[in-house]
Amino acid sequence: MTRKNTTSTATDLSPQPAAVQERVEETPFEAVAGICNVLVIGLFILTFLAQNFVIPSGSMEKTLLVGDHLLVDRVTLAPPTKWMPLVRYREPRRGDVIVFLKPVPDLDANGQPQYLYLVKRLIGVPGDHIHLRDGIVIVNGVAQDEPHAQPTTPDNFRDYLDNFPMVPMTPDMGATEAWSVAMPNFIEGADLAVPPGMYFMMGDNRHNSLDSRFWGFVPRANIVGRPLFNYWSFRTPESEYEKTGAASNVAWLAHVALHFFTETRWSRTLHVIR
């Protein structure tokens, strides 16, 4: 029997020199390019997908408070587009809280028209027949359950607000002249009929809200989006948003910085809007 010789080769276990890693410094051009990318992406999101919105009045209390800062979804209720086929679009629905461009401009200090963004609750969609009886909203003959709305009491009852449109709105009641003239054209029996392409909005704080009862319907094109959540809420007097000028702005910023922790409504942080 022949014995086969085998030869084993020893493995070289001697330490190898460590690879030298070169540290690559970021050039100023690359740093600026990175910042620009972040700004472009942020601008795209704020322009096309989402928008910051601050509540300046109490017309939606207690759903929304003065000083609430909202993130608004600008995509879901937008007209469908081919360049974003995966986005789920839908039409505005009754009960949605909506951000929209006020259809009637206000006048600024110089008498120039100023179109404002408002936030209200959608009460009537095209084709709906609406009326209020003693503060109860009735849509297409059905009384609506609205736990979010301010209740009507003997103390806050206003005939022209709580029995709308039975009592015609006139300019001396706060209605715009154009709506006072146009509103009778949309009354059918005891109801206000919402025409195609239009929407009827009301604030949850029913007796302290300038809404569709005062200036009429909101066109579909004026609807901006739907608030998603409240990302920050700071106790703010309603009069603060009426102030103008650099001195007022600086004074308010100083107030926020000094009282950020004590006057932030922490319980409303990331509060979902319904």
SS (H, E, C) the chain: CCCCCCCCCCCCCCCCCCCCCCCCCCCHHHHHHHHHHHHHHHHHHHHHHEEEEECCCCCCCCCCCCCEEEEEECCCCCCCCCCCCCCCCCCCCCCCEEEEECCCCEECCCCCEECCEEEEEEEECCCCEEEEECCEEEECCEECCCCCCCCCCCCCCCHHHHCCCCCCCCHHHCCCHHHHHHHHHHEECCEEECCCCEEEEECCCCCCCCCHHHHCCEEHHHEEEEEEEEEEEECCCHHHHHCCCHHHHHHHHHHHHHHHHHHECHHHCCEECC
Average pLDDT (161-173) is 91
Categorize the per-residue pLDDT at 39 as very low, low, confident or very high, splitting at 50, 70 and 90.
Answer: very low
Indicate whether 231 pLDDT > 50.
yes
pTM to 2 decimals? 0.80
Please tell me the least confidently modeled range out of 1-5, 27-31, 71-75, 212-216.
Answer: 1-5
Please tell me the least confidently modeled range out of 121-125, 189-193, 252-256.
Answer: 252-256
Work out the percent of the chain whose per-residue pLDDT is above 90. Answer: 63
Indicate whether 53 pLDDT > 70.
yes
> Most confidently modeled of 3-17, 44-58, 119-133?
119-133
Domains of the chain: 50-261 (2.10.109.10)
Average pLDDT (245-274) is 92
Indicate whether 179 pLDDT > 60.
yes
Please tell me the least confidently modeled range out of 21-25, 130-134, 265-269.
Answer: 21-25
In angstroms, the Cα distances linking 240 to 134, 142, 231, 244, 255 are 34, 40, 20, 9, 12
